[in-house]
Amino acid sequence: MGKLYLLPNVLGETEFTAVLPLKVTDTLKKLRVFATENPKNTRRLLKKIDKGIDVDQLVFLDLNEHSTSREIESCLAWLEKEDVGIISEAGCPGIADPGAELVDLAHAHSYTVIPLVGPSSILLALMASGCSGQHFSFNGYLPVKTPERVKALKAYERQSAQEKRTQVFIETPYRNLKLFQEMLAVLSPFTMLCIACDLTTEKEYIKTLSVQAWQGKLPDINKRPAIFILYAAHRP
């Protein structure tokens, strides 16, 4: 029986040696089968890590948001014979990325699951935000339509104030500015708002201000991978 390795990936245009531990790169070199969100980019990463890797001799199984249950189950046939690695497009598999269903199946069939250490934009943003890391929620994407999104933002803000809970969100990069502007329009002036973009890269940007202090300032976050964090328990 093989083992299922959960392999972190770089978050952007970053030198892999700066963010991926040796254990991760050594494991990547040894594995022959990968369940991956983006096979093309996984091949590119492997060649960066070791130019001697013959990617044409490797097996790449599609594991993305469009994968059916049957396609995910088919990965188990490989685990019966050898180790398999799950690797997402960026960051850690299974955290706001595909992977959890295959991991669940692996547990159900008594395969060993091994998570490896690597960068997570969610945790890095939370660490750098200055907001509470003792009580927080990752809420993924907000509703796309404005009325529902405004309603959700206000509900999350109330929960944050009542429970001293930090609220963490992501957004499709081309909608970043629209979300930011709506946050400034509907949230309390005293709510703390952190924007974290391009984490671990040379273009990294992290800033936390009150909604009031953000007014009139337009951060350069358009079409950049970003994490949004709000914390309403803070008061002046």
| pLDDT-wise least confident of 70-74, 110-114, 208-212 | 70-74
Report residue 201's pLDDT band, with 50, 70 and 90 as the boundaries.
very high
Residue with more model confidence, 12 or 166: 166
Rounded to an integer, the average pLDDT of 128-153 is: 95
Report residue 11's pLDDT band, with 50, 70 and 90 as the boundaries.
very high
Q: What is the pLDDT of residue 96?
A: 86
Rounded to an integer, the average pLDDT of 112-125 is: 96
Q: Quick one: three-class SS letters along the chain?
A: CCEEEEECECCCCCCHHHHCCHHHHHHHHHCCEEEECCHHHHHHHHHHHCCCCCHHHCEEEECCCCCCHHHHHCCHHHHCCCCEEEECCCECCCCCCCCHHHHHHHHHCCCEEEECCCCCHHHHHHHHHCCCCCCEEEEEECCCCHHHHHHHHHHHHHHHHHHCCEEEEECCHHHHHHHHHHHHHHCCCCCEEEEEECCCCCCCEEEEEEHHHHCCCCCCCCCCCEEEEEECCCCC
Q: What is the pLDDT of residue 103?
A: 96
Q: What is the mean pLDDT of the chain?
A: 94
Contact 176, 222 (CB under 8 A): yes
Contact 40, 149 (CB under 8 A): no
Q: Parallel, antiparallel, or unpaired for β 226-231 and 166-170?
A: antiparallel
Give the Cα separation of 129 and 58 in Å (integer).
40
Q: What is the pLDDT of residue 231?
A: 98
Rounded to an integer, the average pLDDT of 213-226 is: 93
Q: Is 234's pLDDT higher than 80?
A: no
pTM of the model: 0.91
